[in-house]
Structure 1
Amino acid sequence: MNCKVLLLVLLLVGCSDLVSDDTLTDGPYVQMQVNQWEALWVCQGQRKSYRFPPPVQDMSIEKCGQAAQLSPLPASRPDVTYPAAEKLAVISDIHGQFDLFKRLLVAHRIMDAQGNWLFGEGGLVISGDVFDRGPKQTEALWLIYQLQQQAQAAGGKVHFLLGNHETMVLNGDLRYLNEKYEKVANLLNRPFARLYGEDTLLGQWLRTRNVLVKIGDMLFLHGGLHPELAREGRTLDDINQVFTGQLVEDQDQPRQGFARYLHKTNGPIWYRGYFKDPQASQQDIDLLKQHFGVAHILVGHTTQKHIRALYNGDVIAIDSGIKGGESGEILLVEGQKFYRGLLDGGRVSL
């Protein structure tokens, strides 16, 4: 059956009578099974559940204005190292502020107003923390997932890196979850973390994301790399493999050794030593650059009023406060030139 026709004949198999808020809408959450998939939505305060055969190609699903483009998952984790790109856009710490995220992408022609990729062979880096705080994290995740597929087809690339809030949610730490999603979980009668379980499309996708990426002579990650990682001779592949290999902690076998270190204060999703005491020195940054073979380290996690350069431009802070829901910026890189991309589409040299 044609996928478009299938959308018209999806069978409604579950709809609860529970209504907590007649304006509450969210989803879809897609659970993957062998012979059928199930998509869950909350539509105006009611639970909706649809089952359909597994998609063998791209397929759109939508209910009450909440849509998703389903595509086959990649067979393996993305690479950690890529050649230099002619142009890059870099953003972090979206924290559920989908409208600001979309506005920045449209203003700088990374995509059009309908969510279609316009950036050609360019690259978009999202350096973690799409989850928590704001009320539209689901929309942001599906948009990134869709853009990833479109960029690949156009010869471009979307790199979505793990932040501390992705890691927290996957491990059931929901301290910063917007209250909307507590209601969603109750309406769907599932613990929230299970909506991103290993048997869900977005859950599997998140579990195959990296914690860092090197593009040309630039290193991107959420928090930062502690200088002792260079002194110990650690490689980017080693850091990424160990971190992601124990992304979700087994409670019966807690993380030990290097894996435990990477998931704690000085690890790549938590480290703030480029901004706060005990603060890394210029010598520390030079060591990191030399060891990992980069000219710039670009990080989010620690909020600034604007995107800014530190350590003589060696470190670039890209968390511009989008999480507040009122303003934000996107970093634009063209060759060796860096620009602050503003909400109105303007740009300012960094």
Structure 2
Amino acid sequence: MLNPLYFAHRLLLSCAIVTSLSANSTVTDNASDGEKLVEKTVLYSDGPYVFTQDKHLDAHWLCHGEKVSQRLTLSTEQVDNLASKPIAVSACDLPATIHNLINQEHEILEYNGDFPVAALSDFHGQYDLMIELLTNNNIIDKNQQWAFGNGHFVITGDIFDRGDKVTEILWFLYDLEQQAKKAGGEIHLTLGNHEVMVLNGDLRYLHPKYIETAKKLNKPFEQLFTSDSIIGNWLRSKPVLVKINNMLFAHGGFHPDLAKDKRTLVDINRVFKDNLVKAELDKPREGWAEVLHTTNGPIWYRGYFAAERGKDNGATSAEIDLLLKHFKVKHFIVGHTSQKQIETRYQGRVIAIDSSIKRGQYGEILFIENEKKWRGSLSGKVLPLYHQ
């Protein structure tokens, strides 16, 4: 029979170990005698976060847990020629290429033409899975360069939150956008609810890496994306919707009231964007601007999936027809509501492209060419698009 003092000693030892754990420490489960061993605190690397000030570029990284900064002073010639001669910055194997200091508001909302279209949604920081998916489906080549020719590639929001490689995705798409334009193609990033949440300081879904980044860079996380930052300015230029041929894309969807009230795409986008960041407004959102930023707005609406979510306020088939007629399209293509694969609703009139990339295990791309539609799997296999 063991001495009771032995158990008392083990209890005191266990308490001491637990008390010594820091907020960023992790614990292993394979220690002897039931003990837990403290592992090293995670030393994150992140960035860059690049800010403009006159003709200066101030770039900041988190490199293995420590802040690293660079300041570049640009000549007038460099500023004028950025579009053709971009500037690269790099530290701790985290590079970025800067193509312009200010991005103009993206005012073109409708595109028509004979070109292929690819669409997906909700990356949520899953950079490695994104690269695998885009490479295997020939959106990019093995060197991660644009390979989709004159195609239009649509991402209906939610790059931010949950995953731990958000910054890598942002800089990748920022650069890929320029490559697409040079090849005669286009990348359309529409804002999702998580972009808008972060810009407004709603950080409830942040990965711990970004909490640490904000702490070490001594700024609230949302202030790393202010209008004087390269990526923050770029995000503010993006629309909340885009119409391509006979398809209308948005993150969440379009509430039937938009058709009943005869709202135009231009009005929806303008009012939404004019009221994007609360802290930058002269007065609080009100009226229709407030509606567009809440449950029934284009980044939050889930009415196309209400029945399967056990809700009773979804759009009816007649309301879908009313919306399609009003906006003069045949399909709504949306993310936001996760599926196991790309699927359709309302006999194909609504296509759901959030294929749960955020889980880091699988994802799909929707392809449309000459009225034909199919799914590209993670391995690049061509799969049929099923109608539900």
Do they fold alike, i.e. is TM over 0.5? yes
CA contact (8 A) 2:105 2:236 kept: no
* Residue number among 289, 297, 304 corresponding to 1:274 in the alignment: 304
Tell me how far 1:222 sits from its aligned partner. 0.2
Q: Does 1:253 align with 2:273?
A: no
Matches within 5 A, 1:1-350: 21=41, 23-54=43-74, 55-56=78-79, 57=82, 58-72=86-100, 73-250=102-279, 253-276=283-306, 277=311, 278-350=313-385
Please give the alpha-carbon distance, in whole angstroms, between the structure 1 residues aligned to 2:103 and 2:284: 28
Q: Which moved more, 1:70-79 or 1:196-205?
A: 70-79
Asked if structure 1 preserves the Cα contact closer than 8 Å seen for 2:225 and 2:232, the reply is: yes
Which is further off, 160-169 or 58-67?
A: 58-67
Q: Distance in 2 between matches of 1:21 and 1:206?
A: 32
SS at match of 1:313: coil
Sort the Cα spacing of 1:85 and 1:270 in 2 relative to 1 into closer, same or farther, 3 A: farther
Residues 105 and 238, structure 2, Cα contact 8 Å, conserved in 1: no
- Equivalent-residue separation in structure 1 for 2:41 and 2:180 (angstroms): 37
1:21·1:45 contact (CA, 8 Å) conserved in 2?
A: no
Q: CA deviation at 1:74?
A: 3.7
Once residues 198 and 257 of structure 2 are traced to their aligned partners in structure 1, the CA distance between those partners, rounded to angstroms, is 28
Equivalent pairs, count: 331
Q: 1:313-342: CA deviations, max 9, x gaps?
A: 100000000111111111111121111111
Answer whether contact 1:85 1:215 (CA < 8 A) is retained: no
Letter matched to residue 208 of structure 1:
S
> Does the C-alpha gap of structure 1 residues 42 and 299 become closer, same or farther in structure 2, counting only changes over 3 Å?
same
After superposition, the CA RMSD in angstroms is: 1.4
Cα distance in 1 between the residues matched to 2:104 and 2:203:
29
Shift of 1:75: 3.3
Matched residues in 1 for 2:260 and 2:228: separation? Answer: 39
The TM-score, its normalising length taken from structure 2, stands at: 0.83
How far apart, CA to CA, are the structure 2 residues paired with 1:212 and 1:76?
Answer: 13
Mean Cα displacement is larger for which, 261-270 or 338-347?
338-347
Higher alpha-carbon deviation: 48-57 or 259-268: 48-57
Aligned equivalents of 2:232 and 2:328: distance in 1? 33
Give 1:284 shift.
0.6
Which deviates more, 219-228 or 323-332? 323-332
SS of structure 1 residue aligned to 2:53: coil
Greater C-alpha Rg = 2
Partner SS for 1:152? helix
Residue identity in the other structure for 2:154 = V
* Letter aligned with residue 313 of structure 1: G
Query: What is the CA–CA distance in structure 2 between the aligned matches of 1:117 and 1:92, rounded to whole Å?
Result: 18
Q: Which secondary structure does the structure 1 equivalent of 2:144 belong to?
A: coil
How far is the alpha carbon of 1:88 from its aligned partner?
Answer: 1.1
Secondary structure of 2:299's counterpart equals coil
Q: Deviations over 1:17-45 (max 9, x none)?
A: xxx95641110000011021100011111
Q: Aligned equivalents of 1:178 and 1:50: distance in 2?
A: 25
Unmatched 5+ residue regions in structure 2? 1-39
**Identity among equivalent pairs (%):** 49
Structure 1 runs of 4+ with >4 Å offset: none
Do the aligned partners of 1:21 and 1:44 also contact (CA within 8 Å) in 2?
Answer: no
Equivalent position amino acid for 2:334 in 1: V
Tell me the distance in 1 between the aligned counterparts of 2:201 and 2:143. Answer: 33
Is the partner of 1:288 in helix, strand or coil? Answer: helix
- Secondary structure at the aligned position of 1:255 is classed as coil
**Structure 2 SS opposite 1:32:** strand
Contact 2:45 2:65 in 1 (8 A): yes
- Structure 1 gaps of 5+ residues are 1-19
Equivalent AA in structure 2 for residue 67 of structure 1 = P
